[in-house]
Chain A
Amino acid sequence: MGRYIARRLLWLLVVIFSVSLITFAIAHAVPGGPFSREKKLPPAVLKQLNEKYRLDDPLWKQYVDYMGGIFIPRITQGEPITSYLEDYLINIPLGEYTLRWMNFGPSYKSQSRTVNDVFRENLPVSAELGLYAFLVASLIGIPLGIVAALKQNTLVDYLAMAIAIFGVSVPVIVLGPILIWLFAIRIPIFLPTGWGSLRAEVLPSIALGLGSSAIIARLTRASLLQVIREDYIRTARAKGLMERVVIIRHALRNSLIPVVTVMGPIFAFLVTGTFVTETIFGVPGMGRYFVTSITNRDYPVIMGTILLFAVVIVIANLVVDLLYAWLDPRIRYD
């Protein structure tokens, strides 16, 4: 098991490295630099800007410097000094020294801010939204799937699956405007835009999470139906266990294993895919910032966001695989 985890972590590094290389290549293949504007900047200014951000260096050097800034931890003496070139996401004080790690570099667009400033300001909001949506997805999806399976081929089942197919079919850009109109304008219980209060956070969380709840509901139902037909469930019933015990202790536990495997990708998808929801509901997260940074060719913001989200995705998948082994003792990694 330990060797398996070590191998996976090593593979994680390979993935992150490849993702960063591909992203870097694409971002720099976009013609025009971050400072080419409709109205051209004076050559002297442009030269100074390029010098300031080291854009005249050869591409490989820019890449190596950039990756070095992120991955190589540094130890500095005394109070950490933060400047537009040196701003670390993680600062761990060790007596009179400080361990500093993850410098994502300066943002070209907002010249006084670093990418880490952008992360500190916007990322928590996106993460919160993704997390709430994940809660919505699980809290609606799992119970719905269980009820549908236990009442298979009844009205309850059909109704639950109708809700599920609705959820799968209606993307955020459809659900968003409809929810806003129904529950923020027609019946003003919630706020149509913003973030930071419960009234503002309910609608975007539902809009984002409902689609995934449908996937979870369908999978839970399918898996539970399969487990209920197994011999050991018949055995459990035959030895006279109460139906409740049969379902909860024997059926449910095993049926949730495949559900857990999709929870990882769904979690990653929700946390990294908050863009549309943020735009529709005016949520001040990473989403809108990312889109504008693309049009502004703000490479460090683009790279940083994709890298960070890639880490989330890869780790979510790793956690799921480990959970899988823990939940189902028949699975062994070695």
Chain B
Amino acid sequence: MGVVSQAAAAPRVKELTRPPTSLWADAWRRLLRNKAAVLGLVIIVLILLVAIFADDSVVAVFTGRDPQPLLAPRHFAKQSLENNNAIPYWLTHVFPTLKPVGVEGGYAKINDTYILGADYNGRDLLSRIIYGTRVSIAVAIVGPLVSLVVGVSVGIVAGYAGGRTDNLIMRFVDIMYGFPDLLFIILLMALFRSTTSAAEAGTLRAVLTGVDNAMGGMFFIFVGIGVTAWMSMSRLTRGQILSLKQKEFIEAARAVGARDGRIIWRHIVPNILGPIVVAQTLNIPQYISTEAFLSFIGLGVQRPTPSWGSMIADGASAIRTYPNQAIFPALALAAVMFAFNFLGDGLRDALDPRLKGTD
């Protein structure tokens, strides 16, 4: 949908009197009127702040000392074995099956300094959830970038070149769609992770592994997401380009002698940005849950870096006795997913008001 057709589709007499605004300014105004989307945006900004200020590494990077916990009460890896599985007293009201020592059939240690309780190693759950925002936020930012770069460029090439190239690329996309997603990403992670130990110094493998270790295991997660998530993006991009290619303004640009690169960047990309941004925002929850799933089965973020997925895995095995250990990270994960879904829905309505109320 070109900028031109967008304006023509809603010719309201009243709006003609106000100064012309760009598509994006218009969209932003509409977005701010959507309460759910604003709520989502606020939650995302809050979580982003929590992720940045979980500890004072923003400052520590410049002073050169080890970062100290800032928002988090403790460091995520700090153990206190005498406090393993400890719970604060208020949790016994929330989870009536969780009985403190002293009552009949009671087993849980009470320690009110752990606001959400401690895990089986005596590590503070709240602190680990706070540090865990870093992994989810990183995936929420890098996941779309990876699938954008790969998916959109493949889509542009296929759609713009057309003919045999297009056919070949799209057949390959079809083949990739034949893979069971989860199994394929598990297989990929197994490949990446197992090379970690076997890599010889100086090889590409060793460099990649080094990068991955420096990022706490995040690098390979990004690669895994990139490999499995680009296909839908490239299909979307290709479809958009195929319909744009027929438009008169592209023909006009070509008539005045614009080169392919210029046509793509100045005329095509700005016009397909809307649907792509919407699709990516709606995909973010999927990336976040992919990371959580990988960490859940032990192929994701390396321990002891906390990920909500691995926390849920640990907690799920103790759900009868200490439900708090699985439920709280699960709620955190749900909150982020909600926020991105609200924002994505809002963005779609804002960027294409004609769709509003139909989906």
* Contact call A19/B179, Cβ cutoff below 8 A: yes
Closest beta carbon of chain B to A239's beta carbon, Å: 26
* Contact call A165/B342, Cβ cutoff below 8 A: yes
- Please name 8 pairs of A and B residues whose Cβ atoms are closer than 8 Å in the assembled complex, sorted by A: A152-B357, A153-B357, A173-B312, A177-B323, A272-B180, A279-B297, A294-B187, A306-B180
Give the contacts of A3-41 with B (CB-CB under 8 A).
11, 14-16, 18-19, 22-23, 26-27, 29-32
**Within 8 Å of chain A (Cβ to Cβ): is B326?**
yes
* Contact call B323/A291, Cβ cutoff below 8 A: no
* Contact call B187/A23, Cβ cutoff below 8 A: yes
* Contact call A170/B337, Cβ cutoff below 8 A: yes
Residue on B nearest A281 in the bound complex, by CB: B316
Give the contacts of A161-197 with B (CB-CB under 8 A).
165-166, 168-171, 173-174, 176-178, 180-181, 185-186, 192
Given A153-B357, A168-B285, A294-B187, A185 contacting B181 (CB threshold 8 A): no
Number of interface residues of B (CB under 8 A): 49
Query: What total of A-B pairs shows CB separation below 8 Å?
Result: 145
Range for the number of chain A residues in contact with chain B: 35 or more
Give the contacts of B145-189 with A (CB-CB under 8 A).
174-175, 177-184, 186-188
* Contact call B320/A313, Cβ cutoff below 8 A: no
Given A32-B198, A153-B357, A176-B316, A306 contacting B184 (CB threshold 8 A): yes
Give the interface SS of chain B, mostly helix, strand, loop or mixed: helix
**Within 8 Å of chain B (Cβ to Cβ): is A310?**
yes
Enumerate chain A residues within 8 angstroms of B187, measured Cβ to Cβ.
23, 26-27, 294, 302, 306
Given A30-B194, A290-B183, A173 contacting B309 (CB threshold 8 A): yes
Enumerate chain B residues within 8 angstroms of A174, measured Cβ to Cβ.
312, 330-331, 333-334, 337
User: 1/0 contact trace for B315-359 toward A, CB 8 Å?
Assistant: 110011001001100110110011001100100000000000111
* Contact call B316/A280, Cβ cutoff below 8 A: yes
Contact of B178 among A18, A27, A153 (CB under 8 A): A18
**Within 8 Å of chain A (Cβ to Cβ): is B289?**
yes
Besides A276-B297, A294-B186, 11 other A-B contacts (C-beta < 8 A): A30-B191, A165-B342, A169-B337, A173-B296, A173-B309, A173-B313, A173-B330, A173-B333, A174-B333, A174-B334, A306-B187
Complex Cα distance, B316 from A310, in Å, reads: 30
Question: Which of A218-226, A240-248, A323-331 lies at the interface with chain B?
Answer: A218-226
**Within 8 Å of chain A (Cβ to Cβ): is B45?**
no
Given A18-B175, A177-B312, A218 contacting B359 (CB threshold 8 A): yes
Complex Cα distance, B180 from A225, in Å, reads: 33
Complex Cα distance, B342 from A26, in Å, reads: 38
Complex Cα distance, B334 from A30, in Å, reads: 34
Q: Which of A173, A313, A317 counts the most B-chain CB atoms under 10 A from its CB?
A: A173
**Within 8 Å of chain A (Cβ to Cβ): is B195?**
yes
Enumerate chain B residues within 8 angstroms of A173, measured Cβ to Cβ.
289, 292-293, 296, 309, 312-313, 316, 330, 333
**Within 8 Å of chain B (Cβ to Cβ): is A53?**
no
